[in-house]
Structure 1
Amino acid sequence: MAPLRYDYPESDNDSARLDLMSNAWLGKMSGNISPAAMFNAYTDWITHLALSPTKRVALLQKAWQNWERWSVYNRACCNDSENTSSPACIEPLPQDRRFSDPAWQQWPFNAISQGFLLQQQWWHRATTGVRGLSQHHEDVVTFTVRQVLDMLAPSNFFATNPVVQQATVNSGGSNLVQGALNAMSDWRKSVPGQHDNENSDFRVGKEVAVTPGKVVFHNKLIELIQYAPASKTVHAVPLLFVPAWIMKYYILDLSPQNSLVKYLVDLGYTVYMISWKNPVAEDRELSMDDYRRLGVMAAIDTIVAQTGSKQINAVGYCLGGTLLSIAAASMARDGDNRLASMSLFASQVDFEEPGELSLFIDESQVSFLEAVMWDQGYLDTKQMAGAFQLLRSNDLIWSRRLHQYLLGLPEQKSDLMAWNADATRMPYRMHSEYLRQLFLKNDLAEGRYLTDGRPISLTDIRLPVFAVGTVTDHVAPWRSVFKIHRLTDTDVTFVLTSGGHNAGVVSPPGHPHRSYQIATHTDKQSMVDASAWQAGVERHEGSWWPAWEAWLRKRSGKRVAPPPMPTHGLAAPGKYVMQP
């Protein structure tokens, strides 16, 4: 194994290497979850629960009350099994649709579902509000208990799911046969080395990522794509997209009707896109600063040289927005004025409240994950995808398995789902720096983050900012995204749009059930609270894309002849996006 040069100087010692290797092996057995982190969280909970006799008594009283309520309800249902008018003991949460089918209102399934919901409520009370329990440990315990309960929900089993039983009778059991075939297909796709995109209905370069363009620059980390103009004149100021490197760039260039790139090209913008390499073990030493220098700065240098424009507009999505903010602050510190504006889509620059992802990030967990990455040289796609799926296990795991394995329904396919399954790896050093410096230490927001050996400050950013948050974002909660207001001394136009981290950004005009709020806050105005902002800003129906384009147009200069396109070279979408 190659000698490690980052973060483990003691790894030249054989005993230190043994520690790392044993942790890496254990990670394969534990799903990369640190046993120490779990032990610490549950020990903290149990210890403080033992020190809270009042809480324990209240839980015993609640358990008895729930049993009594459920018994009364069950007797009422048994006395008249055809009468479903008995008032429920408990209503599911608004987002919980597991028991919404009318079949669940018939006995004994109504009693089963009500008993489960009462247990779920009791466990929530048991794991929250314990005096002295740290907030992080409370979140971890509550989350893991919820995962177990979601796994054991009666909707997941044939014997306790009336919808599945009815479907089995109606189909003569063919739903279970098809479900077994679906499960076998998923198992084949999970075999290492299998890449299903070739058989997908949404193939890169065929159905998605089809906006015409050329790769105009490449290095060991990026390909830079320039998209072909669709009009005789274009805005003078070009536009650069910096996507997240955790997934492939084409969420911004999905099928033509969902492509933000095509939308902008058709309106006369010269659009460039960074396409990140999918790292392998040999790329383990790539750092966060490599991503800034070889990614964002190399792209800016190329665009300015090719177009002759003195400035460009830049857009960052998710982690790409965090990296763009680092680059913008570095440029401001160094007197580099080549950015005309900065747009951030679902991007955080303050990680004090990073949302439910923080469940997987503490010193114990990061150290454990570093050992796993040290062994293989990168964070695997399945390791990160599993964490995201757990955040919405009802929708992304158990509901999917119910529909495909028990009901035998075909998988619902869309361009966004195909993209979501096409993840990338992250090099060991970069991801370790990202977790430690941004998540654990919050160095960027607190002015300790270094580039070129010197600290940067977001308050140095003076260019106009357009920031987008999405209401149901589990990855970059919108209130965390909103903090860009107090971290920069500039005018910030903020949009809060319906949808989640991905679907809220992919919101073309004409998409049904979309709405947004928008307001501009100047650097001279007093600070506003996120909740007060949400309550006081007018809501608009439809897509936020036209509102952003109107803002962007004012900063994109007059119309000029398009810059030249290469007559030879690799066509978009390039090679890097094709790497499995």
Structure 2
Amino acid sequence: MTQQNPVEEKKAPHPAEVAQAYAEVAQRASRMLTQHLEKAARAGVSAPTDELGIAKAFMDLSSHLLANPVKLAQAQMSMMWDYFSLWQHSTMKMLGVPLNPIAAPAKGDKRFKDDDWEQHFLFDFMKQSYLITARHLHDTVSGVEGIDPATQGKINFFTRQYIDALSPSNFALTNPEVFRETVKTNGQNLVRGFNNLLNDFEAGDGQLRIRMTDTDAFEPGRNVATTPGKVVFQNDLIQLIQYTPTTPDQYKRPLLIVPPWINKYYILDLRDKNSLVKWATDQGHTVFIMSWVNPDEKLAHKTFEDYLQEGTLAALDTVCAITGAKEVNAAGYCLGGTLLMTTLAYLTAKRDKRIASATFFTTLIDFSEPGELGVFVDDASVTALEKKMSERGFLEGSEMAGTFNMLRANDLIWSFVVNNYLMGKDPFPFDLLYWNSDSTRMPYAMHSYYLRKMYIENRLREPGGLELCGAKIDLSKVKTPCYFISAIEDHIAPWKSTYMGALLPTGPVKFVLGGSGHIAGIVNPPAANKYGYWTNEKLPAAADDFLSGATQNAGSWWTDWQQWLTALPKGEEKVAARVPGDGPLPVLEDAPGSFVKFRLDTQKKA
């Protein structure tokens, strides 16, 4: 007697069911396309324009390539020789001869992690063929002589986008994992994926907004941004949060954190185990953090001066009023650090010494080498952006998020294309990606000023280059002790660029280089014991000299920062713990407050 398997094998869908599913998806897509075209016609949408000057950049590339046909022919012959080597290698591999690959993916390239990319002859051939072509294409366009650096930067960046888009991992028939899933489900994965694609188009109101995570899985105050505290101040631009003490006494100097308004503050308070806010509170700091508003057209007129007055200066006044402290420690992350340094220079001009120390997390102050973000910031592109912002009063958060995602397209775009649209899976719930998708807007007046005065004109580094609220901003007069922490793999604020900013103030400066990138390099709690960091007692003029003479340390820079803060004059002085609401200002609401809960992708308060 044959024993029946207790687990019944899942049957493949009937061909008629598959056909019906395809028909329903096709009808839905047709309806959406018709609605989108009708909406565009009513809105008078014109043909797309080349705001970034991409076409001109590649026309320049073509003319310079054709001007040196010998070099172009050499590049083509070199690529052909690599193809010949690959064909020979593949033939020998078919015969069972073990050989090293002609082209191998870079370490950490997750696109080719499936075993079949190496073990299956056909997929291995496609992978290596792609890698050979990608390398030669990149080397050819980046090695052209006579092109100005700004144009060359655009060419390199958008060539990489093209190369990444054409990876065989991004197509159903050339990705072994997708191919197996398609055969296994009779194409149901592609039907689910197409439905996911249409859902993302609908959520983006006709624009594709790729879901990176399950946005219903998290909520600020419930399972992210959970450190207990109270909102103790609010104006048009910020809510100020004071956190509940966890120690019987606290350092006399409170800690004010200035996060970037380009993202929400809770990257520093995601979960208990990696929250810088909670860790600093547990060390005995009275922690305050600014939660920026997610602006709409009503705040279009808000300027960079407003962000100074109603942001950092208002927060500083409030912290001092609540605690009675005459001095505070301040820290700024990324764009928040740029504003913090501006604030320091303003206070210096006003002979105001309330900020006793300043810490800068991955902060650009000298914008002469802004990295790949510079591709999107020149006079023509900013002028076009200003036109858009003037019409609606702000820069849409999804546009800025899309720009940042392009800097790491394989990880932040194409991996989700494969998972969501080809594999037909829902994105995995992940708190960091929830935060990353929780985008924010920028007011027209402020963002225009920031792009022009900082990125294009680089005026912040010039003594007197900016005048804000009646004060000339001169960083060379800033003598406040400063701690700079940057990340060696940062693609948003390259560490060598942030290092140049650390040379501008003339007081005591400590520069520390952390491991990993813009987020993981900062959100690196001691308990994780990851990445490490480099320190150097000297601050040489060149970043490379700093690193060559630096000492590598294990663990987290957080402990080094804590030691630096307490080693400052009067840095170890303590007072009884300060409880939110005990000061002269009343509690407005519980942390994380209402500002942070407004999500643009749902257009409602969570």
Alignment TM-score > 0.5, same fold: yes
1:315 aligned to 311, 325, 331, which one? 331
Residue in 2 aligned with 1:203?
219
Structure 2 gap segments, 5+ residues each: 1-42, 600-606
CA distance in 1, matches of 2:562, 2:44: 50
Structure 1 residue 548 displacement after superposition: 1.0
Change in 2 beyond 3 A, CA 1:391/1:80:
closer
Q: Deviations over 1:226-249 (max 9, x none)?
A: 111112211111110000001111
Kept in 1, the 8 Å contact 2:366–2:497? The answer is yes
Kept in 1, the 8 Å contact 2:514–2:557? The answer is yes
Kept in 1, the 8 Å contact 2:366–2:458? The answer is yes
1:79-90 correspondence to structure 2 within 5 Å: 81=94, 83=96, 85-90=98-103
Instruction: Establish whether residue 111 from structure 1 lines up as the match of residue 131 from structure 2.
Output: no
Q: Deviations over 1:190-226 (max 9, x none)?
A: 3489999995322101111111111111111111111
Structure 1 residue 173 displacement after superposition: 4.9
SS in 2 for 1:487: coil
Kept in 2, the 8 Å contact 1:470–1:496? The answer is yes
2:576 aligned to 561, 576, 579, which one? 561
2:61 aligned to 18, 41, 45, which one? 45
1:384-463 correspondence to structure 2 within 5 Å: 384-447=400-463, 448-463=465-480
> Structure 2: which amino acid aligns with 1:93?
A
Q: Deviations over 1:512-562 (max 9, x none)?
A: 5321112344xxxx7342112112211112111111112122343412112
Residue in 2 aligned with 1:6?
none
Residue in 2 aligned with 1:266?
282
Residue in 2 aligned with 1:144?
158
> Structure 1: which amino acid aligns with 2:595?
Y
Residue in 1 aligned with 2:27?
none
1:525-536 correspondence to structure 2 within 5 Å: 527-536=540-549
Residue in 1 aligned with 2:345?
329
Structure 1 residue 363 displacement after superposition: 0.8
Kept in 1, the 8 Å contact 2:346–2:471? The answer is no
CA distance in 2, matches of 1:534, 1:74: 43
Change in 2 beyond 3 A, CA 1:288/1:505:
same
Structure 1 residue 101 displacement after superposition: 3.1
Residue in 1 aligned with 2:511?
494
2:74 aligned to 57, 61, 68, which one? 61
Change in 2 beyond 3 A, CA 1:140/1:199:
closer
Residue in 1 aligned with 2:371?
355
Change in 2 beyond 3 A, CA 1:328/1:27:
farther
Structure 1 residue 343 displacement after superposition: 0.3
> Structure 2: which amino acid aligns with 1:288?
F
Kept in 2, the 8 Å contact 1:76–1:86? The answer is yes
SS in 1 for 2:143: coil
Q: Relative to structure 2, which stretch is displaced further, 63-72 or 215-224?
A: 63-72
Kept in 1, the 8 Å contact 2:232–2:587? The answer is no
Kept in 2, the 8 Å contact 1:313–1:340? The answer is yes
Structure 1 residue 410 displacement after superposition: 4.4
Change in 2 beyond 3 A, CA 1:85/1:407:
farther
Instruction: Establish whether residue 344 from structure 1 lines up as the match of residue 344 from structure 2.
Output: no
Q: Deviations over 1:340-383 (max 9, x none)?
A: 00000011100000111001011111111111111111000111
> Structure 2: which amino acid aligns with 1:578?
K
CA distance in 1, matches of 2:206, 2:265: 23
2:557 aligned to 541, 544, 557, which one? 544
Change in 2 beyond 3 A, CA 1:408/1:451:
same
Q: Deviations over 1:460-508 (max 9, x none)?
A: 1111111110111111111111113321111111111111111211111
Structure 1 gap segments, 5+ residues each: 1-23
CA distance in 1, matches of 2:564, 2:195: 50
SS in 2 for 1:230: coil
Kept in 1, the 8 Å contact 2:393–2:444? The answer is yes
CA distance in 1, matches of 2:180, 2:210: 36
Residue in 2 aligned with 1:571?
590
Residue in 2 aligned with 1:479?
496
Residue in 2 aligned with 1:518?
535
CA distance in 2, matches of 1:278, 1:560: 35
Change in 2 beyond 3 A, CA 1:80/1:354:
closer
Structure 1 residue 91 displacement after superposition: 2.9
CA distance in 2, matches of 1:47, 1:107: 39
> Structure 1: which amino acid aligns with 2:321?
A
Equivalenced residues, count: 547
Change in 2 beyond 3 A, CA 1:354/1:83:
same
Kept in 1, the 8 Å contact 2:264–2:292? The answer is yes
Q: Deviations over 1:234-278 (max 9, x none)?
A: 111111000000111111111111111111111211111111111
Q: Relative to structure 2, which stretch is displaced further, 442-451 or 160-169?
A: 160-169
Residue in 2 aligned with 1:278?
294
SS in 1 for 2:412: helix
Kept in 2, the 8 Å contact 1:223–1:274? The answer is yes
2:143 aligned to 120, 126, 129, which one? 129
Residue in 2 aligned with 1:161?
175
Kept in 2, the 8 Å contact 1:59–1:125? The answer is no
Change in 2 beyond 3 A, CA 1:390/1:199:
closer
CA distance in 1, matches of 2:194, 2:295: 35
Kept in 1, the 8 Å contact 2:210–2:416? The answer is no
1:2-81 correspondence to structure 2 within 5 Å: 29=48, 34=51, 37-51=53-67, 53=68, 56-78=69-91, 81=94
Percent identity over the alignment? 37
Change in 2 beyond 3 A, CA 1:200/1:270:
same
Q: Relative to structure 2, which stretch is displaced further, 395-404 or 489-498?
A: 395-404
Q: Relative to structure 2, which stretch is displaced further, 105-114 or 484-493?
A: 105-114
2:521 aligned to 498, 504, 512, which one? 504
1:250-261 correspondence to structure 2 within 5 Å: 250-261=266-277
CA distance in 1, matches of 2:287, 2:436: 23
CA distance in 2, matches of 1:171, 1:496: 48
Change in 2 beyond 3 A, CA 1:100/1:71:
farther
> Structure 1: which amino acid aligns with 2:107?
P
Kept in 1, the 8 Å contact 2:249–2:576? The answer is yes
CA distance in 2, matches of 1:440, 1:213: 39
Residue in 1 aligned with 2:483?
466
CA distance in 2, matches of 1:573, 1:530: 38
CA distance in 1, matches of 2:70, 2:180: 42
Structure 1 residue 170 displacement after superposition: 5.0
Q: Deviations over 1:279-301 (max 9, x none)?
A: 10111111111000100000111
Kept in 1, the 8 Å contact 2:484–2:502? The answer is no
Kept in 2, the 8 Å contact 1:59–1:122? The answer is no
Residue in 2 aligned with 1:377?
393
Change in 2 beyond 3 A, CA 1:269/1:83:
same
Q: Relative to structure 2, which stretch is displaced further, 199-208 or 431-440?
A: 199-208
SS in 2 for 1:394: helix
CA distance in 2, matches of 1:82, 1:406: 33
Q: Relative to structure 2, which stretch is displaced further, 444-453 or 100-109?
A: 100-109
SS in 1 for 2:94: coil
Structure 1 residue 180 displacement after superposition: 4.1
